[in-house]
Structure 1
Amino acid sequence: MRQRTVLFIVTSFWAFGELAIATEFARRMAGTGFTPLFLIPPTHRRLMADSGLAYQVMIPGAGKINRIQLRDIAHVHKPALVVLADFMNFDFCDRHYGLGRADLAAFDCPVGTFDDFSWGRDGAWLDTYGFKAKYEGDITLDGLSFRLRPCPLNNPLDETGPDVFAYPLLEETADVPTAQRDDVRAELGLTGGRPVVMVTGATWQRMHAAYPRVTAYVDASHRMLERLLERILPHADVLAVGPQLVFHDRAPAGFHPLGQVEPERFRRLIQAVNLHISNNIVSVSLHRLALRGIPSVVLMNSLNKRRGRLRWEIPTPPELTEHARGVVDGIEYLYPCRMFPVGWYHFLRSLLDGNPFSAVVEHVETFDEDGSLAVILPLLEPGPQRARLAEARETYLEALRKLPEVDTILHQVSA
């Protein structure tokens, strides 16, 4: 039987989360009668080569060539389905790749998208860097035949329409193995038997240079992260994966900056980890580690500052430490944030309300120094806090088991 092609179009060249979501889906197509083909930016070439999945590469600034390539794929492969990895980004990719929605007419098949955040939820509005996004009204799913909603961060308990398919984001959710924990720790020079905390970040989170007020907010957040890690280090070693955000002048004892890490090495490193800290609730790495049993904490910010006035978005604001007060007093502008540093505090609120994934990770406030530490330190060792997260994880995994798998979705969408 001839394999039917599913084309995944990835246009985000600065972020890898959309690619990770698409490749997770594509790897589960084996034995379904469908085969994946990716159209990607050149920045993703190495990851795709390592994945073993078929791909072709777009050329930045060469819209005519990219449109020809799109039509060639339609002619040669005759896709049964086309999936946009990120419909929001695709609608703005004409400036980079010269492609737009009209070019998708080359395909004589259903064209859909991953819908990572249940776009169009009641009460949701897109807040970026503290303001309502001007381009929100330009974003639409009109004309797309289907939506694939990976869980997390979508809510597996939400009802969906006939062309909306919630499914488990990750196939592998078994506990992270610990058989090689001692070996991995020895490779890292961690021989004291102390707990290990992993802090993760992404390159795209540093793409904010055009916004001076945002840069000041980012610097303040990094100062708070550095302070938090200073207070964690007497209790645990810290691995920093991704761009180094803290301790630029000096690396204190127990702090290990690893830089960018290839996926295979990352999978090995997490065997050494007791706790994960992220500042991005939408991070696939956060979802992956939390659902594989590593206690995870996500930093967020509910504190506003404008015109010298502070205002919290939460009913019971924490007391700021002297250090946090000094940081807050030193900048003019703060905005609420769940996806650092873009914001999305209000946009993601209704997605997280009633979502069982919210209980799988701990949420702490970036500027609540004492409160964050009070949550994190008990999670370094077995105890009731860890047990509660483990119970929440099992509840969430049970909800995922009730969702359709990739095989079922592909046949239903292409019927």
Structure 2
Amino acid sequence: MKADRFLFLALTRAGWGETALGLRIAEELTAQGSSVSFLAHKSNSLLMADTPFAREFISDEAGMLVRAYVDSLVKDERPTAIVLSDMATTQRFCSQANVDASFLAQYGLPLLAIDTWDQATTGATMDLFLGEPQALDLGLARASRPLLPVPILHSAPRPGAYDCMPEPVRLTRRVRTHLRDNLGIGDSERLVLLCTATWQHMRYRSRHGNRMAAALPLLLAEYVSRLGPSVHLVHVGPAAFPLQERLGERYHWLPPLQSLHFEELLGSSDLLVSANISAGTNLKAIASGVPTVVVHNSHEVEELFELESRLPQPPSDALRRWLVDTLPLYRFRLWPLGWFDFLAPVLKDNPFMRAVETVELTDERAFVETCQQLLHDDTSRRSMLERQAAYVAGVRRLPRASEVVRQYLAEGTIAA
């Protein structure tokens, strides 16, 4: 029996999350005897460095040739199916290269698409920054069969939904102590991890997006400074933030790490803080029993007095100064993009929300108290770990992605 061959497209430019989803499915398929190759954006080269898959990289400059790349790979490799990792970034790459993405449905092959956001649920409009909505092209959604990764999508069983929970990180005490020693963080101190992606450091066309991208880390540093002198903030991202003035030597910046080194860091952390509800790092932390706090902002205000009437207590002098420098505010679940309304249907009644603590960005007391409890209070920490474990167990009842792929192939799924 001839082994199946799969061609994966991983065309995301500025983040590894979508490509990581595809790599996990590829690993499952190759473990079952299939062969896999990738056409990937060159920004994914470090992530894919240690993978066994055949791969070809494409740059932004060559984007207009993406159809020629795929034509050649389909001709040479004769894949059983094409898998988009993911649908939204494939559509975006093609649109920015002025290429009609519908060509992917014209090979007479099954077209499977990782639908990270479940676009049938979210709809076709993303709320970006302050009053800058972006319409989505749903053409690929109509032409493909969805692979729905859980989390962050709802864990209820349905066609396309699959277990996307990462494997947990398990470290020996020796490895944990060694890593923390290298950072200058002792066993009695606490390590708070913050991770940012390339797209969170970009220069945006929106002045509001640029302002919020620069402002949020400063406020987080202020909050972390209140957690006490034994709490360190370790930041993994493409560039450091100017946080030494507030945190001094308790701010540690590291560039993006290869998977093994990042897992060791995550497993050595006491708390993960994120400003992106959907970050893959959150999922790894949940699977690994690392308490997770996600910051969001639900307030859209232009003037300080508007926000003050909504806050649970009067702002501190530091928060007031930050607001004066930062206003107006817009709502976000993915800092600094927004997506507050876009993701609302996905997160409504979603068990995932019980596996993390969510805190309003401008509720300074809630942030500090939540982090203090998770860092120092055994009861609070144990409660969160129990909720995380219960959520993970529920997700594990879903089929694996490879099972969903095989089911689609058995149904003879051909792109329209």
Same fold (TM over 0.5): yes
**Does 2:251 match 1:255?**
yes
2:301 matched residue in structure 1: 305
**Does 2:231 match 1:230?**
no
Which residue identity does 1:116 align to in structure 2? Answer: T
Which residue identity does 1:305 align to in structure 2? Answer: V
In 2, Cα distance between equivalents of 1:245 and 1:219: 8
In 2, Cα distance between equivalents of 1:123 and 1:308: 33
Which residue identity does 2:117 align to in structure 1? Answer: F
Cα deviation for residue 110 of structure 1 reads 1.0
Cα deviation for residue 143 of structure 1 reads 3.4
Equivalent runs, 1:184-223 vs 2, <5 Å: 184-191=179-186, 193-223=188-218
Moved more, 48-57 or 357-366: 48-57
Cα deviation for residue 81 of structure 1 reads 1.6
Contact 2:155 2:394 in 1 (8 A): yes
Give the helix-richer structure, 1 or 2: 2
Cα deviation for residue 140 of structure 1 reads 4.0
> The residue matched to 1:330 in structure 2 has which SS?
helix
What are the Cα deviations for residues 112-143 of structure 1, in whole angstroms up to 9, with x where unaligned?
2111122122788521113262423x334443
Which residue identity does 2:54 align to in structure 1? Answer: A
Match of 1:375 among 362, 367, 370: 370
What are the Cα deviations for residues 174-215 of structure 1, in whole angstroms up to 9, with x where unaligned?
655545211222222223631211111112102244222222
Match of 1:279 among 267, 275, 298: 275
Return closer, same or farther for 1:318/1:23 CA change in 2, 3 Å cut-off: farther
What are the Cα deviations for residues 134-176 of structure 1, in whole angstroms up to 9, with x where unaligned?
423x33444323111111111112x53xxx4111213413655
Contact 1:61 1:98 in 2 (8 A): no
2:73 matched residue in structure 1: 73
Return closer, same or farther for 1:193/1:300 CA change in 2, 3 Å cut-off: same
Which residue identity does 1:172 align to in structure 2? Answer: E
Q: How many residues align?
A: 409
Match of 1:345 among 340, 344, 354: 340
Percent identical residues: 24
2:148 matched residue in structure 1: 149
Match of 1:296 among 289, 292, 298: 292
Cα deviation for residue 79 of structure 1 reads 1.5
Return closer, same or farther for 1:179/1:155 CA change in 2, 3 Å cut-off: farther
What are the Cα deviations for residues 274-326 of structure 1, in whole angstroms up to 9, with x where unaligned?
11111111110111112210111111112221366635998x74542222122
Cα deviation for residue 84 of structure 1 reads 1.3
> The residue matched to 1:305 in structure 2 has which SS?
coil
Contact 1:302 1:313 in 2 (8 A): no
What are the Cα deviations for residues 319-353 of structure 1, in whole angstroms up to 9, with x where unaligned?
42222122213334100111010011111122112
Contact 1:180 1:271 in 2 (8 A): no
- Alpha-carbon RMSD across the aligned residues, in angstroms, is 2.6
Equivalent runs, 1:10-409 vs 2, <5 Å: 10-62=10-62, 65-94=65-94, 97=97, 99-121=99-121, 125-131=125-131, 133-136=133-136, 138-157=137-156, 159-160=157-158, 164-173=159-168, 177-191=172-186, 193-242=188-237, 243-247=239-243, 252-306=248-302, 310=306, 317=312, 319-381=314-376, 383-409=378-404
Moved more, 188-197 or 352-361: 188-197
> The residue matched to 1:238 in structure 2 has which SS?
strand
Moved more, 331-340 or 253-262: 253-262
> The residue matched to 1:72 in structure 2 has which SS?
helix
- Structure 1, gaps ≥5 residues long: none
Moved more, 29-38 or 121-130: 121-130
Moved more, 70-79 or 92-101: 92-101
Q: When the two structures are superposed, what TM-score results if normalisation uses the length of structure 2?
A: 0.90
Contact 2:299 2:307 in 1 (8 A): yes
